[in-house]
Structure 1
Amino acid sequence: MFSLRTLLFTPGNDSRKGEKAFTTGADAVILDLEDAVAPSQKEAARLTIRQTLGRPRPVPVFVRTNSAQSPHILHDLQAVVDLPLQGLMLAKAESAEDVCRVDWLLGLLEQEHGLPVGGIKLIPFVESARGIARAEEIAAAPRVFCLAFGGNDYAMDLGVSFSPEGDELFYARCRLVVASRSAGIDPPLDTVNPDFRDIPALAADARRAQKLGFQGKLVIHPAQVAPVNEVFTPCAEEISWAQKVVEAFARAEAAGSGVIQVEGRMVELPIVRRAEKLLAAARARKTPGKGNE
């Protein structure tokens, strides 16, 4: 689809916060029907979301539904299937069976509304040890275009503390990145950082995820948007290096060579492909470097 650096959560039943979310600079907004909404407010939240999406929005919108095992899932899908969404985030995904159940329900609802079957894409939210253990099958399930990591719930499931250093999340993060690449889907989205006041810690956490291969990060407060966008936006030095690599390789390829050196570093095709992707991402953002959003 497209690169997502930041996806901002906002409660589905709070129209004021929803309106503000669209002005924060986040790459996408997630209207939440799950944890942010009490059971007694689920139906009101569905109605609010329909009102919120009754007119065009400046950024892509996702809705986080309740889990496939929840009694709320059918009503969630019925409420949003015909809305102008980029996709759905499926809470507490623990198996391919969970995803397939939602795929089946969505297919029936798409047919009922005269919509293309399979058109609504899914982001399974993996947030438990069981989900991490089955990351490969979840990534390969129908409709999935990327995975999202729920690190807070994952740490709680393991019985460990969610730390600023993030050591307890390392295995799960790696597992999601590898599972995504193996399934041929987009890179995953990293977990939210619950302390929205500690921006340096947030930036460090985002850099760890970016280095491991995540495409972006989920955020819960407008103050987190700009710092995370900066981390996941190619800087001027990275763009300059990528341009040199692509141009040098093109010259070498025209001369019949497949291996070159750029500024003393060996460059082969995989590095060239990475440089091409970086330049494509920079062009999509229309920014020559960090800080120029």
Structure 2
Amino acid sequence: MQPPPRPRRSVLYLPASNAKAVAKARELDADVIILDLEDAVAPDAKAEARSAAVAAVREGGFGRREVVIRCNALDTEWGADDLAAAAAAGPDAVLVPKILSADDVRRYDAALAAAPAQTQLWVMIETCAVVPQLSEVAACARETRLSGFAMGTNDLAKEMRARILPGRAPFLPILALTVAAARAQGLVVIDGVCNAIHDEALFQAEAAQGLEFGFDGKSLIHPAQIDACNAVFTPSADEIAWARSVVAAFAQPDASGKGALRVEGKMVELLHRDQAKQILAIADMIAAG
């Protein structure tokens, strides 16, 4: 199921076990809140975090924000219970880690069989094994709940024995392949985290790189990163003006049946009109708050 266009600029991970952080998330300007049961939660707090995530989803109060539960992997002692609890809670999406293949996606989809129809499946792209199979994994969207990819650059770096340095050179091919595979199937695709919480210049550069690659938004590990992330991924006034010009040009009676037009001295095609409509839909939702 292709997800509807909506802002997914800032995707904030929060430990589901941190009640104060979850309560505060209802007032933050993040577009997506991920209640984490995996990396951010110690083993002896997993059950408590699971119960807290379910309670938070059922309580609601997150407004326009999408709420996602990140579960532990099915091959862990917590995974099956996490998936069952998330399915019963019915968040906007369930995010699952460390998939290796399309078969894994199908396993997770089956584990969510009891979830409401609107609950989507997002998967982490964070293993070396999945990289050569990105197209096959994305194609699972045709037959499952799969609707989103989220980059897990920290885990990927660990497996690759690569270093995460400014510019992220070792990961650039994988970032591009992930976006391409996601777009081929109409998936949401979210860039990985920036670990430098207090280095605003580095964060802005990495977010701008993600935008350049075509990501919908970026994963965040601290609320301090939200404003900068939203600023990068919000369509600019110039982009909005251009998009309106393109849509208006194709709406003119003399443009009927034409596949290409000249707009403000540039040639644009129907694909540009579609891109323009997407930009305007996102911009309108951001403006509406």
Distance 2:118 2:242 in 1: 38
Say if 2:201 is the partner of 1:200.
yes
Indicate if the aligned counterparts of 1:8 and 1:28 stay in contact, CA closer than 8 A.
Answer: yes
Q: 1:71 to 1:253 in 2, by over 3 A?
A: farther
Cα distance, 1:253 vs. partner?
A: 4.4
Cα distance, 1:36 vs. partner?
A: 0.7
> SS in structure 2 opposite 1:129?
coil
Question: Number of aligned pairs?
Answer: 280
Aligned residue number for residue 17 of structure 1? 21
Indicate if the aligned counterparts of 1:135 and 1:175 stay in contact, CA closer than 8 A.
Answer: yes
After TM superposition, list the pairs within 5 Å mapping 1:117-156 onto structure 2: 119-141=118-140, 142-156=144-158
Cα distance, 1:271 vs. partner?
A: 1.4
Cα distance, 1:258 vs. partner?
A: 3.5
Distance 1:43 1:210 in 2: 36
Say if 2:68 is the partner of 1:62.
yes
Superposed CA deviations along residues 201-252 of structure 1, whole A, max 9, x for unmatched, are: 1111111111111111110100111111111110101111111112122226
Cα distance, 1:84 vs. partner?
A: 4.0
Superposed CA deviations along residues 145-183 of structure 1, whole A, max 9, x for unmatched, are: 01110011111211110112111221111111111122x
Say if 2:76 is the partner of 1:74.
no
After TM superposition, list the pairs within 5 Å mapping 1:1-293 onto structure 2: 1=3, 2-57=6-61, 58=63, 59-107=65-113, 110=114, 116=116, 119-141=118-140, 142-182=144-184, 184-251=185-252, 253-254=254-255, 257-286=258-287
What is the identity, as a one-letter code, of the residue corresponding to 1:16?
K
Indicate if the aligned counterparts of 1:10 and 1:31 stay in contact, CA closer than 8 A.
Answer: yes
Distance 1:50 1:16 in 2: 15
Indicate if the aligned counterparts of 1:62 and 1:88 stay in contact, CA closer than 8 A.
Answer: yes
Q: 1:265 to 1:130 in 2, by over 3 A?
A: same
Cα distance, 1:63 vs. partner?
A: 0.5
Cα distance, 1:33 vs. partner?
A: 0.5
Indicate if the aligned counterparts of 2:207 and 2:232 stay in contact, CA closer than 8 A.
Answer: yes
- Segments of 5+ residues of structure 2 without an aligned counterpart are none
**Backbone CA RMSD of aligned residues:** 1.8
Q: 1:250 to 1:50 in 2, by over 3 A?
A: closer
Identity %: 33
Distance 1:255 1:43 in 2: 59
Distance 2:152 2:257 in 1: 48
Distance 1:228 1:7 in 2: 9
> SS in structure 2 opposite 1:104?
helix
Q: 1:21 to 1:264 in 2, by over 3 A?
A: same
Q: Which has the higher contact order (CA 8 A, sep 6+)?
A: 2
Distance 1:17 1:255 in 2: 52
- TM-score, length-normalised on structure 1? 0.90
Q: 1:261 to 1:71 in 2, by over 3 A?
A: same
What is the identity, as a one-letter code, of the residue corresponding to 1:124?
V
Cα distance, 1:119 vs. partner?
A: 4.4
> SS in structure 1 opposite 2:70?
strand
Distance 1:81 1:259 in 2: 46
Cα distance, 1:9 vs. partner?
A: 0.5
Aligned residue number for residue 290 of structure 1? none
Distance 2:260 2:54 in 1: 55
What is the identity, as a one-letter code, of the residue corresponding to 1:63?
I
Q: 1:72 to 1:253 in 2, by over 3 A?
A: farther
Cα distance, 1:256 vs. partner?
A: 5.5
Superposed CA deviations along residues 2-42 of structure 1, whole A, max 9, x for unmatched, are: 33111110001111111122222001110100011111111
Cα distance, 1:120 vs. partner?
A: 2.8
Superposed CA deviations along residues 80-134 of structure 1, whole A, max 9, x for unmatched, are: 2221410100011121111111222222xx1xxxx65x54311001112112222
- TM-score, length-normalised on structure 2? 0.91
Indicate if the aligned counterparts of 1:30 and 1:64 stay in contact, CA closer than 8 A.
Answer: yes
Q: 1:259 to 1:104 in 2, by over 3 A?
A: closer
